[in-house]
Structure 1
Amino acid sequence: MDLIKDIVARAKSQKQRIVLPEGTEERTLKAADRVLAEGVADLIIIGNPDEIKALAEINGLTNINKGTIIDPENHPKMEEYAQLLFELRKKKGMTIEEARKLVKDPLYLGCLIIKNSEADGQLAGARNTTGNVLRPALQIIKTAPGISCVSGAMLLLTQAPEFGEEGLLVMGDVAVMPVPDAAQLAQIAVCTAQTAKAIADIEPRVAMLSFSSHGSASHEVVDKVVEATRLAREMKPDLQIDGELQADAALVPKIGESKAPGSSVAGHANVLVVPNLEVGNIGYKLVQRLGRAKAIGPILQGIARPVNDLSRGCSVDDVYMMIAITADQAIAAKGL
């Protein structure tokens, strides 16, 4: 499985319109130049056109002009987007004057372009915090139907092909929800399964992880995982999901058969849903560092149209990869 090539090929096959609100950020521009050169996506780049042009010349970027460059301070649709934002937020007390100011913020502008059906997804975070990236997305694009919380999944490409899907595992939530309740954990499970299908093109087999397997231990935190599993089954009756399961019971066939006999997921899981963010963050970083796995993400999920958040320490390759992933999420969101 060459997952990265597959992700890029899928994006190229049905090109999506992705907004880059940090258009004057050097790594973002370098990645955008490569995306445009290779035809991975159509890009809407937000930023001062003169500054973008100067950065492109300094860095020898010859494909930026293939994208659409929008000046947030001066473009023909400023008033149209301000009116859209005002209508969306007036019940929350926003005035038209406040909307006219916010529409000049590239993060708000990008989400308004998506809301107006003129783009399919957005990627930011090389300069901005997660909170700043998520706030306009939740105010303007909002969460997907039936989902009330945003979460983050990580793709783990391990060197152990006997586990997951030829060594690939998808883990959530590793990025957003510190202590989800049972209903939120169920949503995280469903969304992480959808991410596995949309990005890795695998049929998800979801393990709801805990320190207990099918009643081997009793505790309120185990009860939460059991209840979340039940709720996830209600949300998505056709989803292969089981829990609560210990990590070894989820991954190792012999142990899965011993601890959860008859389970179609135990011993064969390719999607791992952890009970809280602390476990998720620690878990994926242990696998990444001690197991030398390649970690791709986090991939934000639960928003009605994809909005992804980069690490401020990201590389050009990270930005390129996340543009392709955002495009694949947009394809999946449209049911293409």
Structure 2
Amino acid sequence: MSRPSPWFQEYLNWFPPKTTLKLTSFPSQSSRVILITGGYAGIGFETASALYALNATVYIAGRSVSKATTAIENIKSLHPNSTGSIHFLPLDLTDFATVKPAADTLIAKEHRVDIIYHNAGLGTHYGSDILGPNRPGQLLSTNALGPFLLHHHLTPLLLATAARPEVPKSATRVVWLSSKLHRNAPLPHGVAWDDLDLKGAGEGMAANHARYSQSKAMNVILAHEFARRHHHQNIISLSLDPGILRTEIMRSMPLIQWLLWPMLWPARMGAITMLWAGLGEIKEGEERMLEEGGRNGGYVEPWGRWGFMGDFVEKGLLEGGTGARLWGVCEGLVGEWM
């Protein structure tokens, strides 16, 4: 499959090929434990709802007890015949001190975690606001550093799950929610290494757009790097573009939302992409790394199909060692809480 031209790639983002997949197209997930951050609105809600309907044990992680409680009640009412369970896991990705306790809570309650969906994220209206002395901005923390830290604390349980004799090959997965906008991240490889909060870009819509795009490029890079480190341990790690959807994150772009609302897709379509990345078939050989001719560490596009990350981001990963570099940068920034 050849990489599409930039203009055709943009067309595919807005008008993905039709799919026959539905939220009910996937097998039962009974006995499996699945964590999804930000699971009480938009794509996260639709994904959590579908997983509960498939009889999984679902954990919704987030800050708001009231929103999570409402979401869980709604999900249970939508699927009264589910044999699964659904729970709230308190977590604030901007408050790194809450991350390990959240992971410890999950580890204490469950003996496995089969899929982690790093879904929670902030939109382009969040600028370079600093959370405290020498702390990164809220957008960078929520979209990249917080998920990295959470992942660090859950990696031992994830690897133990993948090593269980009854767990099928390639069934243990990590899905990092990115965006088509990662292709607008800073050149040459997607990360402004000397100015991670892009303070030099100033403020305003264009600057915040650049910050958001970079944070989403980081998701792509981290997904590939985690796969590189652990693909030989029966782990699949992917990033994805959920599609251009009618979700809460569009509130950060009111003019765009108003102009383009008729062209936006419902959130459930994004959930189909999420489910395909987490539950879809991995064919023989696809568990190998992207650079070895496989799909692991790769990129998924709407509505559940293999796609292409930004060419400059991929070049940085395959030729510039940006995965290991970003991993080290993240460790340096959140090391106090690791």
Is TM > 0.5 for Structure 1 vs Structure 2?
A: no
Structure (1/2) with the larger strand percentage: 1
- Higher CA-based Rg: 1
Q: Which of 1 and 2 has higher RCO (CA within 8 Å, sep 6+)?
A: 1
TM-score, scaled relative to structure 1: 0.34
TM-score, scaled relative to structure 2: 0.33
